[in-house]
Structure 1
Amino acid sequence: MDIQRALRHLRSTRSAAERAFPQATLTALAAAIATGERAHRGEVRLVIERALPLSAAWSGVSNRQRAIALFADYGIWDTEDNCGVLIYVNLADRKVDIVADRGIDRKIEAATWQAVCDTMTQGFAHGDYHGAALAAVEQVNELLRRHFPSSGARPNELPDQPLML
């Protein structure tokens, strides 16, 4: 039970999340995801959550646990080539996690994903949500291009538009 964390999540507002990620930023991120997916076989999903549900914040659900739960809840694991990637942003905790499906996880190390997360959190610390998020999406796209290059046209299995919770 972390009362400070629970209060931080309780006080987090939708308007603050929308200031950090306005519609223009969400549109730019969707375009970056769509462009990247034409060059690799991965399916990238960006989920931005302003705050955990109070019960989760109170009970100590970690950022990683929440990311894994959302990975399952939104079917990111259910892609044809087992190549889904979730970029999860928790604004109240100011944390980022990346969860990759087993097909990708075999080739890209956790430390590499952590470097991408660090790109975002460092930019966020300076108030640069737009630039940091775009840079991270580009890093993910580059990793996927390198390890899972496109093999021709294929269906888009996950929405490109970031999901704001």
Structure 2
Amino acid sequence: MAFSLFNRHPEEVLTSAEKEQIVEAIRQAESRTSGEIRVYLESHNKYVDPVDRAAEVFLKLKMANTVDRNAVLLYVAVKDRQLAIFGDEGIYQRTGKQYWNELVTKILSHFNQKHFASGISEYIHQIGEGLHHYFPFDRATDHNELPDDIVFGS
């Protein structure tokens, strides 16, 4: 009997190697930008709209405290199969809604093929490119403002 990806606790969805792959993708993306990227996985979303939950998590993780307001959160409620991308005002104003909708579509195509870790890694790469375009890395002034680890909720 197959063990469904979506029946697992968020920390069990990814293998150790996949977790490291995602963290490394964050590090590589952030090496080219002053922007910050976080990934948050939890089992269930207690709210109707996953974007509202992503906004709450964004604030809880103090992601609005970056100097250029250019942090981005990928939020996934694993068992509810919900996904949201929440970008701070600095990056959202420069990219627009269509940019984010296209990213969500790309990630969902990976998830639908059960390529969970590669979908997240591809998202990180894509958003890193966008951040690099609008917020390039400046060796003299930039530093890592937020941790690169994956955050697991309940």
Question: TM-score, length-normalised on structure 1?
Answer: 0.82
Secondary structure of 2:74 counterpart:
strand
Q: Residue 158 of structure 1 is aligned with which of 143, 146, 152?
A: 146
Q: Give 5+ residue unaligned stretches, structure 2.
A: 1-5
1:44 paired with 2:37, answer yes
Q: Given that residues 95 and 121 in structure 1 are in contact (C-alpha distance below 8 angstroms), is that contact kept between their aligned partners in structure 2?
A: no
Deviations 1:67-98 (A, max 9, x none): 01101111111111111111111212222211
Q: Distance in 1 between matches of 2:122 and 2:88?
A: 21
Cα distance per residue 1:39-85 (max 9 Å; x no partner): 01101111111223xxx2xxx43111100110111111111111111
RMSD: 1.7
2:127 counterpart (129, 140, 148): 140
Asked if structure 1 preserves the Cα contact closer than 8 Å seen for 2:40 and 2:75, the reply is yes
Shift of 1:142: 0.7
Distance 2:69 2:125 in 1: 20
Aligned length: 147
Secondary structure of residue in 2 paired with 1:61: coil
What is aligned with 1:7? none
Q: Percent identity?
A: 26
| Aligned pair partner of 1:71 in 47, 58, 66 | 58
Letter matched to residue 110 of structure 1:
K
Contact 1:87–1:98 (Cα < 8 Å) also in 2: yes
TM-score of the superposed pair, with normalisation by structure 2: 0.88
CA contact (8 A) 2:34 2:143 kept: no
SS at match of 1:44: strand
Distance 2:20 2:144 in 1: 17
Aligned-partner Cα distance in 1 for 2:81–2:107: 10
Report if the CA contact (8 A) 2:58-2:86 is conserved: yes
1:92 aligns with 2:79: yes
> 2:49 maps to what in 1?
62
* 2:21 counterpart of 1:28: yes
Tell me, in whole angstroms, the C-alpha distance in 1 between the residues paired with 2:102 and 2:16: 26
Q: What's 2:98 paired with?
A: 111
- Post-superposition offset of 1:115: 1.3
